[in-house]
Amino acid sequence: MTSTSPTGRHSARNTVLIAAFEGWNDAGSAATSALEHLGEVWDAHKVGELDPEEYHDFQVNRPMIGPGPDGTREITWPTTSVWVAQLPHRKVVLVHGIEPSMRWRRYCTELLDLAAEHEVRTVVTLGALLADVPHTRPIPLTATSDSEGLRAVLPDVEPNTYEGPTGIVGVLQHEASARGLQSVSLWAAVPHYVANPPSPKATLAILTRIEELLGESIPLGELPDDATAWQHGVDELAGEDAEIAEYVKQLEEAKDTADLPEASGEAIAREFERWLKRRDSGKDQ
């Protein structure tokens, strides 16, 4: 019998949970924008949400009031929603939330219990942070994992060596590993001098890495054009301020010096593999 399931470096991740949270973990809204994009292009359907009374201080994250679909005024509470997308070779659970104000351990327990109901085997968390990086270069993206088995399958995923304050992304990763789940954390570095959302170039970098990690094609729609327009817009702003322009030049020089060895055979092979998948996907349409 011929199997249609993913094989090789993607075979151990058939059922995946991908989570992103607004707030401290989401510079430029890059991570949550990536998650929303996945929900749209993968036609995900909502399967539940967590009770916000348990986890949010409504003076920190206030509910919003306004007209609903039928014109009746309604209140939208800050909460965490869970969506499911059924792809040809795997099921993906998408978690979109706001970083909770309290009871983080209970919050993670509830999410991971839901993950168990859907037989999730791997948890992927998305994050974005402000960093000293130039907007004119590829967005730096790190992939880390505490799972030795996963790092063996994906040698480009680094061990997690971070020490310091953490957000709900770090706590969820820790609790997932404690349950024996494979886990990967993806973080995009957003230029700190253009911190306001949206940050389409960072969102695009996250989606490209997810595509590679899962071995699933992700239609990008207008996002590449949005990323190009964003970069041109920042170019114009920098061009109007000599001090910012000089600062960007310094960041470019530092980045280029650090990236000289980056064009490795493995990096080129990954890029070629991604191109082949996009080409084959286009033939099937």
What local confidence, expressed as pLDDT, does residue 224 receive? Answer: 96
What local confidence, expressed as pLDDT, does residue 243 receive? Answer: 86
The whole-angstrom separation of Cα 174 and Cα 18 is 15
> Which residue carries 């992304």 as its tokens?
169
The pTM assigned to this predicted structure is 0.83
10 pLDDT exceeds 60? no
User: DSSP string spanning 159-195?
Assistant: E----S---HHHHHHHHHHHTT-EEEEEEEEEEGGG-
Mean pLDDT of the chain: 86
In this predicted model, which residue has the larger pLDDT, 282 or 134? Answer: 134
What local confidence, expressed as pLDDT, does residue 219 receive? Answer: 95
If one counts every other C-beta atom within 10 angstroms of the C-beta of residue 2, the result is: 3
3 pLDDT exceeds 50? no
Mean pLDDT, range 139-156, rounded to an integer: 83
**pLDDT bracket for residue 227 (50, 70, 90):** very high
H helices of 240-285, where? 242-258, 265-284
What local confidence, expressed as pLDDT, does residue 276 receive? Answer: 62
2 pLDDT exceeds 60? no
In this predicted model, which residue has the larger pLDDT, 131 or 6? Answer: 131
What local confidence, expressed as pLDDT, does residue 13 receive? Answer: 52
Mean pLDDT, range 11-33, rounded to an integer: 88
User: What percent of the chain shows pLDDT beyond 70?
Assistant: 86
Q: Which of 39, 204, 212, 77 is nearest to 128 (CA)?
A: 204
**pLDDT bracket for residue 118 (50, 70, 90):** very high
What local confidence, expressed as pLDDT, does residue 161 receive? Answer: 83
170 pLDDT exceeds 90? yes
109 pLDDT exceeds 90? yes
Catalogue all structural domains in the chain, each as residue range(s) with its CATH number.
Answer: 16-221 (3.40.50.10900), 241-281 (no CATH)
What local confidence, expressed as pLDDT, does residue 83 receive? Answer: 97
Q: Which of 182, 188, 208, 186 is nearest to 270 (CA)?
A: 208
Q: Which of 17, 145, 128 is nearest to 82 (CA)?
A: 17
260 pLDDT exceeds 60? no
